[in-house]
Amino acid sequence: MGPDTHPLAMTMVEKNHWSAIFKAIVIVLIGLMIAYPAFGQAEDEELTDVVEELDEPEIDVQGSIDVADEQRGVKLDGDLRLGFVFTGDDFQGIVASDSGHLRSRWRLRSVWGISERFRAVGRVSGICSAIECDPDFILQPDIPTPVGLGDGQITIDSLFFQWFRTEKFNLAVGRMETKFVARGGVYAKSLDRNDSNNLRINWTDGVHATYQASNGWTSNVILQYNSADGASNIRRHPLEFSDSRSRVSTFLAFENVQPRRHLV
């Protein structure tokens, strides 16, 4: 560093340099999504809008292990989601204060089909907004904000091995995106799991197993590791994990979406 070079100036140049690279990545992803619609096909299949017919059973989103097609070799895919975030105070129709900005979530995933029944999955995800887009890579067991990654942050939100048998048994171990939401037109809230919804990025560290019985019942078992610093998915006060006995939590779910008979 020369005699006329100020350390603060060097820091600002380096910060602006990485910010430009980060924004360029987002722009390239937008171009890929426009030029090659298939690039975002995985996310499009994942995100089924609730305005579909209510008698359609698959109106919800899918998790990491729900779409494990049998394949060999390496597959790369990704998705990009843009949104306008608005915050404000509204009291009886009177807006006291408001603000809004553009926000984006990008994800790049690699799937390695090791054999017909065994695969490895890794994914890097990040948040970029008009307020903050300087890249900040983090790797920690808990989410840094109450709802997930903050603006400008990047992390590995998926890194797991999966053994599966199509439409019968699934077993995944590692960091993954777990989802189990209400179906058949019932709005999903409170009693569900829904990692990385909207523009959020959060995850589950642990084991997820599913079993599809011949009578139509699907069983889900999730054993999740919880850091003493906090959870890796959205948890509200007073839930906290400082007690050593709370390191592992269990989630059980059972569902049957086969129609039995019509009421009308």
Q: Going residue by residue through the chain (264 aa), what tens digit of pLDDT does each one get?
A: 444 444 434 334 444 555 565 566 656 555 555 555 444 444 443 333 333 333 333 434 566 776 566 778 899 999 999 988 776 665 555 555 566 789 999 999 999 999 888 899 999 999 999 888 888 999 999 999 988 999 999 999 999 999 876 678 889 999 999 987 766 555 555 556 888 888 899 999 999 999 989 888 989 899 999 998 888 988 777 778 888 888 999 999 888 878 777 666
The DSSP element (H or E) to which 33 belongs, if any, is helix 7-35
Give domain status of residue 2, yes or no.
no
Give domain status of residue 225, yes or no.
yes
Q: Which residue has the tokens 């049957």?
A: 256
Read off the pTM.
0.70
Give domain status of residue 49, yes or no.
yes
Q: How far apart are the first and last CA of the chain?
A: 80
Q: Which residue has the tokens 């048998």?
A: 165
Give domain status of residue 23, yes or no.
yes
Q: How many CB atoms are located within 10 Å of the residue 177 CB?
A: 29
Give domain status of residue 261, yes or no.
no
Q: Are 241 and 230 in contact (CB under 8 A)?
A: yes
Domain count, the chain: 1
Q: What is the pLDDT of residue 65?
A: 76
Give domain status of residue 264, yes or no.
no
Give domain status of residue 145, yes or no.
yes
- Give the domain extent around 119: 7-256
Give domain status of residue 262, yes or no.
no
